[in-house]
A and B are shown apart, each in its own frame.
Chain A
């Protein structure tokens, strides 16, 4: 059974703190993604990675960075948390399909509140 896990379901941090969100997948997928989900805005891609140590910016990378040192693990870092980063953060992974079928598998999400 496919599995994407995220380190925390709920997190409360103060403005200015450095925040780490961890994601682990056990499917040996090449691709991993970080999204934020906000009501009425859907899912917006922050960063993604298609291989170890590789990363690409998504649609809203400002204020975030990522790290992928191992294939199964993809970390999202908020260098200095701000209140407008309060959101639900979703991690996903997918295989690198040459046929173009790139179904993504999602983790349960981390609800981050920055006060």
Chain B
């Protein structure tokens, strides 16, 4: 079964700092990749997704992610975080054509004003 690894479950950083969250998956074939975000008290919502084309994907709120196929990675980045980016972030992977997502364990990110 495929698995998704997210490291550094708890991340604390100051406003304006840069953020990078790692995501590695174990599936060897073609995959679709997602980052979801859950702000405190809110629904899980899509931040960005990759299915093909340019491996650098831009999402909402200034986030981007880079797909590196050789490293089985899909890392999330934001150059300068804000207090409002405090949330839990989940990486998810599905094989192409499959409707089932495998989620990582999440990164709890706290941004200190």
Identify the A interface with B (CB < 8 A): 31, 33, 35, 40-45, 48, 50, 58-59, 90, 92, 94, 96-104, 106-109
Contacts and interface: CB of A to CB of B under 8 A. Distances in A.
Interface string B42-61: 11111001010000000000
Given A40-B9, A40-B105, A43-B90, A103 B99 contact: no
Contacts of B9: 40
Interface in B1-20: 1, 6, 9
A99 B90 CA distance: 23
Interface string B22-42: 000000001010101000001
A58 B46 CA distance: 21
B83 interface: no
Nearest to A106: B44
Contacts of B100: 33, 45, 48, 58
